[in-house]
Structure 1
């Protein structure tokens, strides 16, 4: 093949001559892994409950420490007689994972109701069906349950009387089975044995409301127990992963990710080991998934405390695996390594008591990959996925460091590699480049680990100046996973950080260096992923949303443009024999897609100067240009979700040269047939 000359003519004084960018198609620097660009998911900023998990009822099982958090009652909590009508029953001895339920006793017809505030209000759409369901157990018949959706003014926009089990004097059916047509999942055999049944119906609102409420109105007299109250929209994601908010998941799928790392993040560690993430407690019927406190409820870097932030595990490991299958990307679970958050309690499990933690890892591999004849493979099959998920990547610990981490990592490595040698283990280096990374990097390289996980939250200038960071890394050592990174407009942890266009361009420039070194950096993910515009603890984030809509940030489009233009092979792109990493305020990289037979060039111009480039030495044909541009401080928003958005145009090359404008403050992707 002939060399292609990419000629960039700069808008500089006339005595400065044009300089040639040279792309060498004859030399392959690195193979690009299918996992190169991916996703990082954590339940932070309402990412799961109140976000991607479509459930509209907060504290649906009364299992919060304050059992009535999110609920208002009539009679009210302050009024005389309220406790005679509503009582929280703690039945932890029977079901420690779902210990509480509500008992309602109405001895005389009166105004008795429950009202749920949802997550910042219950939002419903006119004409869309919503599935309403709850578990009930009848003691004294006579009560009817009327479910209403009311708007912010208190007017009813939809209602339905739930019957079913209330009309059945025997409680649960004799055979112990229950309906499976429910948004809250099946009742476990244990629940059915104790007389619990499902009431369910649908409500179609007559009007759209944003700040509404869900009301359960009890009519007549009688006594019953209720639990697992659910209001679920029917326009959820239609893949195997159920009960997920469609617009948020679609934005993930539209990136075309190579992998998804889950479930975090700091929630893997927990404030202490009692609140660590335990994957086995997140699968199966919902009443078997034990609610725990969210790591981020007390605030975070921004200090925005959210006392009602708990993890219901409506989204658990099964849903995450299924979502990865839906998006055709590699699952990458991260497990606790026997350490809680080292910023918090910093609890450490004694090395001779690590068997449970190591066994959890071995069981997870069997759950993900084992045949249905194995114990955990059978469990996966019973949950609806008889085929293995073919998991290849497993993370041990999150942002852990020091000798205590190394000691526990050795236990995991020995046990996993002896039984599953093909599983690639991702190892932690802590949370900051210095001094943690330096120490951990040296130790992990001596251990000959598979993959080292590095995290970077830095300012625009840092990302621009460090685009060549991996140019001189040891090619014989472990691979690098950039497990978390994001450009912070002010500084890490500042609540004023914004997802500006300049931050996105700095990330795009840095990513040219990751792409150029794809033989070392085999995976990378922006973090965090989601944030509710009113309920967040950390900024910036890739996707923002409210209860009705969502929008992508400029950083999102950078991630998407890289992932959708990944290519198969890195080829050299140089200026005067050097990689292009800031010369004349331009950052660039080039790859080839051998399947589509295309050259893909990425050019970042964060400066305020327009430039003109020419790609010469071509034979003519079709090309496309995708350009993301905007003012440095511009941001997208709920009100203006597409203020900054990439635009693609087709170009027909006539002759041997293609000229393209490189706009100020822009990221440009050029695809050329070769």
Structure 2
């Protein structure tokens, strides 16, 4: 997952898929998708020709603990902060008692607090709850704590069983009675209470089960102790008995089932940014560091012995869902497990390389041990640990990724090579996957690919999050990749929103992935899960709260493709949409990101020399339009200064949105802050613009970014950084669709934005099991696509099966309203050639017997 700064959360709705120059302006129905005059196309299938085979694992899922996807999400534990390990290192609002409060029954009194001392449960589970009991109150009195669960509370369902467990010790010779109750937030009982007697002053695990007698989404779990003395409690846990596949320490059933319904070919885990961010050091008590990279050995064995960690995305992660559970989940879904280990070069905006050879050697050995854990016999060192957890047979690991989105390609590849050589020497059948950085192009991408290609790496992981426009423009991205070079693992991609228009653009792109299945062997949309109450990132495939889960429009699209892949591509050809090319038009703008900067002497002139704008700010800033909440702009010392170093995207604009073929010149000086300058051109509005981002991404590189309906894509970039206090001369030249950029009089770069955003895309595959051609057609425009289809041979049946996804471009799925859902029907096919009209804003899969 890229650093959040790279792709900020969208605030501008995606209104349309295409620029107005591509198709005629549509008319819009009030309650349905846009409509316009039908456009004629042709689609010809060549069943006698041979296309690339499609592997069983082509489409998979990428799981990262982002958006609270694990604890409070896929991991079925209902108790939040069950081991009292929450800390400010995880989140400034956290404490060891987060989600806990004191509770008293029948007048019981005492004190409750967390302790980290020599009486702890174990070295990796350091804090516990100490209850000092006064013995006060009526008969049956008790004092203890209540847990509020995640978000609104614990969700309990009538008639379902729940397994409680706790580790406890007591200094009372006769033992201490623990009473466990489940109630709603207003005190209504949800189940008969459990009564457990803790005996002895040594840590012992106690368990019990209750059945919910009513349903509630605001449940609270209370544990109280009676009598006097001191009771120590840790790992207070409540699990639904009905987990996915009925597994103990298991997965939330609805989320796991929705994931499994995709029929994924692989499961990539555990990230993402959590893989390679933070310290790479091992856990060392007592001076252990919370913010550590995800290290697999921390996540196996008894859950009470697994440490916690500070999640990169700003919360606590318990590792209750660890490597063993990931392998088990992949196996349960029939998917290939694809773990990713840290390469000792941090990514996601941190950009640091570890130079400690002993530390590198330890991580290489850890990776070899991981393969033994997955594949070794039950009597091997690490295979025995897998067997002890309940899986004597090997998991059958075949692929392993090293690193994630590193921005230092040479440093990364040097360390990757150490991992690769060690793995291939001992396990030559394992495919070691490299990566190409956080973006689809640019200097890091090019250098990383060169290194991977020159070294003969088998597979390279690409990641990119771009606008729907980019996905429509780049269907042919892999057409020109070297067929003899490394294969592509498209490990993360999405078009930056969960509207149906985004899903359509992704579908258009996916037809190109399938057409190039001999190059793109693996692909996974990202991320998989998001808690609607607390998400750090969007878009996401599956959304959930404590009670419900629902697939986004993108989920429905991915499911349609993943459930109808086919075994081989059947070559086909289709006509394209007539398009016109209009020049780049728009006003100009100035902006900053977490930086204070001064701008002066703004000049905009037409290609014919005419003066469009001239401002040296001696008369104030009346020519500029500011939006509320976008920084602090004022004229200071004859320059236009944005002074708020915390403000992001502070865009101010000037000029006419109809301007074209012009030159913009401005002097810029960085005064303070993290980055450099943002100089905008072609500005339609804040969600539709180009800007030259000089000294972006923490002042590590520079790029021109194009934003369409709030979603960005990179047009060109290099490694330029910006110095504080130095004045720069910036010049942007716009001619038609070509842009040339000059920095201090030197040409910095150029690009031509002329790729057609083709809305009509298709691919055909053959399903060997059913003997069917699968004709997949995307029509991402406001016009119906009236299409003459030539199958190349007479079909065996006159009836074709159709599955269609159609909705308004800005339709979204919610917990209450599933606007995007597949519709099944049949189609009469008379002969080899026939005409079918594909609806506007739709994807259609036709299954036709050969």
TM-score class, shorter-chain normalisation, is 0.7 to 0.9
SS of 1:346's equivalent in the other structure is coil
Cα deviation for residue 64 of structure 1 reads: 2.1
CA distance in 2, matches of 1:326, 1:611: 41
2:189, 2:350 → 1: CA distance?
46
Contact 1:143 1:223 in 2 (8 A): no
Residue of 483, 486, 489 corresponding to 2:491 = 483
| Structure 1 residue corresponding to 2:131, chosen from 104, 111, 118 | 104
Larger Rg: 2
Among 129, 138, 155, which residue is 2:161 paired with?
129
Assess, with a 3 A threshold, how the Cα gap between structure 1 residues 85 and 36 changes in structure 2: closer, same or farther: closer
Q: How much has 1:272 moved relative to structure 2?
A: 3.2
1:528 alignment partner in structure 2:
527
Question: Which residue among 136, 144, 149 is the counterpart of 2:182?
Answer: 149
Instruction: Give the length in aligned residue pairs.
Output: 609
Which of 474, 477, 486 is matched with 1:469 structurally?
477
Aligned pairs for 1:296-307 (under 5 A) are 296-297=313-314
Per-residue deviation, 1:476: 1.0
The answer to whether the Cα contact below 8 Å between 1:89 and 1:102 also exists between their aligned partners in 2 is no
Q: Structure 1: how far apart are the matches of 2:248 and 2:769?
A: 30
Return closer, same or farther for 1:582/1:24 CA change in 2, 3 Å cut-off: farther
Q: Distance in 2 between matches of 1:437 and 1:60?
A: 42
Match in the other structure for 1:331:
337
Query: Alpha-carbon deviation of 1:344?
Result: 2.8
Secondary structure at the aligned position of 2:245 is classed as coil
Does 2:774 align with 1:600?
yes
SS of residue in 1 equivalent to 2:507: helix
Tell me the secondary structure at the aligned position of residue 272 of structure 1: coil
Give the match's secondary structure for 1:31: coil
Instruction: Sort the Cα spacing of 1:91 and 1:559 in 2 relative to 1 into closer, same or farther, 3 A.
Output: farther
TM-score, scaled to structure 2: 0.69
* Preserved CA contact (<8 Å) 1:620 1:656: no
Contact 1:46 1:531 in 2 (8 A): yes
Q: Pick one of 32, 50, 60 that aligns with 1:28.
A: 50
Alignment of 1:215-614 (within 5 A): 215-238=222-245, 242-274=249-281, 275-297=292-314, 309-341=315-347, 343-344=349-350, 346=352, 348-351=354-357, 353-400=359-406, 401-432=408-439, 433-488=441-496, 498-575=497-574, 585-614=759-788
- Give the equivalent residue in structure 2 for 1:40: 62
Paired position in structure 2 for 1:113: 144
Partner of 1:95: 122
Residue segments in structure 2 that go unaligned for 5+ positions in a row: 1-34, 88-94, 282-291, 578-754
For residues 204-219 of structure 1, what are the structure 2 equivalents within 5 Å? 204-219=211-226
Separation in 1, partners of 2:513, 2:61: 16
- Give matches, 1:41-60, under 5 Å: 41-60=63-82
Q: Which residue of 1 aligns with 2:673?
A: none
Deviations 1:325-379 (A, max 9, x none): 1111100000011123351373524245411110011111111111122211122
Q: Secondary structure at the match of 1:462?
A: helix
8 A contact 1:144–1:161 mirrored in 2: no
Change in Cα spacing, 1:583 to 1:315, as seen in structure 2 (3 Å) is closer
Distance change in 2, residues 1:576/1:457 (3 Å): closer
On the 8 A contact 2:166/2:235 being kept in 1, the answer is yes
Change (3 A) 1:67 1:669: same
Q: Distance in 1 between matches of 2:357 and 2:113?
A: 47
Confirm or deny: 8 A CA contact 1:509 1:588 kept in the other structure.
Answer: yes
* 1:273 alignment partner, SS class: coil
Structure 1 residues 526 and 619 mapped into 2: Cα distance closer, same or farther (>3 Å)? Answer: closer
Structure 2 CA distance for aligned equivalents of residues 90 and 660 of structure 1: 73
Please list the CA deviations of residues 187-213 of structure 1 after superposition, one character each: whole Å capped at 9, or x if unmatched.
xxxxxxx83222222222332211222
Alpha-carbon spacing, 1:329–1:360, altered in 2? closer, same or farther (3 Å): same
Between 413-422 and 343-352, report the one with greater CA deviation: 343-352
Aligned residues of 2:182 and 2:219 also touching (Cα < 8 A): yes
1:69 matched residue in structure 2: 98
CA deviations on 1:646-671 (whole Å, 9 max, x unpaired) are 11223453444454331110011111
* Distance of 2:477 and 2:351 partners within structure 1: 34
SS at match of 1:314: coil
1:639 is matched with: 816
Does structure 1 conserve the Cα–Cα contact (< 8 Å) formed by 2:493 and 2:525? yes
Counterpart CA distance in 2 for 1:626 and 1:402 is: 43
CA distance in 1, matches of 2:389, 2:104: 41
Change (3 A) 1:576 1:343: closer
The CA deviation at 1:628 is 0.5
Give the Cα–Cα distance (whole angstroms) in 2 for the partners of residues 597 and 258 of structure 1: 21
Whether the 8 Å CA contact 2:85–2:308 is kept in 1: the answer is: yes
The structure that is helix-richer by fraction is 1
Equivalent in 647, 652, 662 of residue 838 of structure 2: 662
CA distance 1:12–1:549, change in 2 (3 Å): closer
Q: Distance in 1 between matches of 2:829 and 2:248?
A: 44
Contact 1:133 1:200 in 2 (8 A): yes
Q: 1:291 to 1:626 in 2, by over 3 A?
A: same
Cα 1:160–1:458 change in 2 (3 A) is same
Gaps of 5+ in 1: 1-10, 172-193, 298-308, 489-497
Q: Superposition RMSD on alpha carbons, in Å?
A: 2.5
Q: What is the Cα deviation at residue 242 of structure 1?
A: 4.8
Secondary structure of 2:50's aligned partner: coil
**What do residues 505-550 of structure 1 show as CA deviations (whole Å, max 9, x unaligned)?**
0000000111110000000000010000111100010000000000
Greater strand fraction, Structure 1 or Structure 2: 2
Give per-residue Cα distances to partners, 1:38-89, cap 9 Å, x unaligned: 000001101100000010101111122332122112489xxxx96x554524
Q: Which is further off, 658-667 or 38-47?
A: 658-667
User: CA offsets, 1:490-509, max 9 Å, x none?
Assistant: xxxxxxxx400000000000
Q: What is the deviation of 1:596?
A: 2.1
Question: What is residue 624 of structure 1 aligned with on the other side?
Answer: 801
Which among 811, 825, 828 is matched to residue 649 of structure 1? 825
SS at 1:157 equivalent: coil
Paired residue for 1:300?
A: none
Name the CA shift for 1:345/1:147 in 2 (closer, same or farther; >3 Å).
farther
Contact 2:570 2:765 (C-alpha < 8 Å) held by counterparts: yes
How big is each residue's C-alpha offset from its partner over 1:402-455, in whole Å with a ceiling of 9 and x where there is no partner? 211011011111111111111111111110122211111111111111111111
Check conservation: 1:341, 1:347, Cα contact below 8 A.
Answer: no
Offset from partner CA, 1:249-288 (integer Å, 9 cap, x none): 0011100010000001111113333511111111110111
Name the SS for the 1:255 alignment partner: coil
Distance 1:220 1:664, change over 3 A: same
Stretch moving more, 594-603 or 245-254: 594-603
